[in-house]
């Protein structure tokens, strides 16, 4: 336990392995920072990686009677932070698990916990611990949909889980104020942003809008260093990257084609997007390097996937790419399916199933009707034979996609 403020303790785990993480190897290791707040009520903020779950629970049991733990706050469900919840909740039987609504089902399934253990918190909700107050703010998709941050109002400490983190294992220093004067973490901090947050950049500015007005003395993330000085500098790294990415909106069009009609659709969509000032890359996947494609999908603000239909299925290698989507950190990214067909056009629907399964923000007719009142736009965009006969529909679909990219 290390005290970071009055009766607030770091109780995490430093992991100095080369850590395999989201298709990366974290060469400098990382840490899983959890925090214990002692007040009239006791609250734990996040836990540690699943690999260290039992070790964490045993260490906590040595420090306190776990039956006196009142709350376990889960800001983010990924197992590098919620990993000790299963073992801990079975020993801290009086503790309520505080999380957002979408997190409940995930945590129930992951750790086989009953619904009665959970207490859903909503954006801006406050919870008194006695002398001090927790306030919860939803920050979706940073890093996954159910994510929130927790603010300890009287101490002006913000517990941000993945946000404002750094992947560095440093057992000797916890706060940046403990580091030598000439040592900067900015390069590692920026690398973390690029790797983990940039794919979700459209959600960064809404998060900054929530965080910036809060009086802040400490930002306590769940990887790497606790930020206890120069907070404006660290906030501005996120803000400036997110603002920069808004200046130029990019779309990626990936397609296969049998007779040339889906390629023609891809060109027509490209032309419409370019007219609206969107930067477009239009790629026939058969001729592309798949690893490069994965990088481009992550970078683009939105992706259109086009396919023709062969024997009721997706021809070529597009399906290989679609299967990879769930590992590419693209949840919430706008996407839509399109394609030309001759008989039934099932492949376009299959593409959409993949997009939905990977958590992309898939454009669907029902959503467009609800959000715009426009009922004559069909997504996924299916065109029979030559798309030149469907120019009006393609233009309208492109316009909706532009609106979603800009929103
Ligand atoms: Fe550090 Fe999204 O987990």
Which residue's alpha carbon is nearest to atom 3 within ligand 1? 78
Catalytic residue from among 70, 155, 162, 319:
162
Q: What is the pLDDT of residues 294-326, one digit of tens each?
A: 999 999 999 999 999 988 889 999 999 999 999
Active site residue 22: yes
Active site residue 123: no
Catalytic residue from among 111, 223, 225, 319:
223
Task: Give the separation between CA 155 and CA 3, rounded to whole angstroms.
Answer: 13
| Residues lining ligand 1, Cβ inside 6 A | 76, 78, 80-81, 143, 162, 223
Predicted TM-score (pTM) of the model is 0.74
Which residue's alpha carbon is nearest to atom 1 within ligand 1? 162
Catalytic residue from among 46, 71, 76, 270:
76
Task: Kindly list the averaged pLDDT for each block of 10 residues, start to end, along the chain of length 407.
Answer: 96 92 83 98 98 97 98 97 98 98 96 97 98 97 92 98 97 96 96 89 91 98 98 97 87 96 97 92 95 94 95 91 93 93 90 94 73 64 92 88 79
Confidence at residue 404, expressed as pLDDT on a 0 to 100 scale: 83
Q: What is the pLDDT of residues 226-236, one digit of tens each?
A: 999 999 999 99
Active site residue 200: no
Active site residue 46: no
């Amino acid at each position: 336990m290390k005290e970071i403020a009055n009766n607030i303790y770091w109780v995490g785990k430093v992991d100095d392995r080369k850590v395999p993480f989201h298709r990366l190897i974290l060469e400098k290791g990382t840490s899983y920072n959890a925090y214990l707040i002692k007040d009239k009520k006791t609250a734990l903020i996040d836990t540690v990686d699943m690999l260290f779950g039992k070790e964490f629970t045993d260490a906590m049991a040595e420090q306190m009677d776990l039956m006196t733990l009142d709350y376990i706050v889960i800001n983010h469900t990924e197992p590098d932070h919620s990993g000790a919840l299963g073992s801990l909740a079975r020993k801290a039987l009086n503790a309520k698990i505080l999380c957002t609504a979408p997190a409940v089902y995930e945590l129930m399934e992951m750790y086989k916990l009953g619904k009665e253990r959970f207490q859903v918190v909503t954006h801006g909700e406050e919870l008194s611990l006695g002398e001090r107050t927790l306030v919860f703010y939803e920050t979706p998709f940073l890093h996954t949909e159910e994510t929130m941050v927790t603010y300890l109002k009287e101490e002006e400490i913000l517990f941000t889980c993945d946000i404002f983190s750094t992947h560095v294992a440093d057992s000797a220093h916890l706060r940046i104020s403990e580091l030598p004067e000439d040592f900067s973490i900015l390069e590692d901090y920026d690398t973390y942003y690029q790797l983990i947050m940039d794919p979700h950049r459209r959600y960064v500015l809404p998060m900054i809008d929530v965080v910036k007005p809060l009086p802040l003395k400490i930002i306590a993330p769940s990887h790497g260093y606790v930020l206890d000085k120069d907070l404006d500098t660290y906030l501005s790294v996120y803000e400036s990257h997110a603002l920069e990415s808004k200046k130029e909106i990019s779309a990626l069009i990936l397609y296969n084609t049998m007779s040339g009609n889906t390629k023609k659709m891809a060109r027509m969509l490209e032309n419409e997007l370019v007219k609206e000032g969107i930067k477009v890359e239009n790629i026939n996947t058969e001729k592309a390097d798949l690893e490069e494609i994965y990088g481009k999908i992550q970078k683009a603000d939105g992706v259109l996937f086009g396919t023709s239909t062969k024997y009721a299925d997706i021809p070529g290698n597009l399906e290989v790419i679609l299967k990879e989507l769930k590992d590419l950190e693209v949840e919430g990214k706008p996407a839509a399916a399109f394609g030309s067909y001759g008989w039934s056009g099932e492949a376009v629907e299959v593409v959409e199933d993949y997009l939905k399964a990977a958590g992309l923000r898939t454009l669907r007719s029902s959503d467009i009707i609800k959000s715009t009142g426009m009922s004559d736009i069909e997504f996924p965009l299916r065109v029979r034979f030559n798309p030149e006969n469907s120019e009006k529909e393609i233009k309208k679909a492109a316009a909706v996609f532009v609106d979603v990219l800009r929103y």
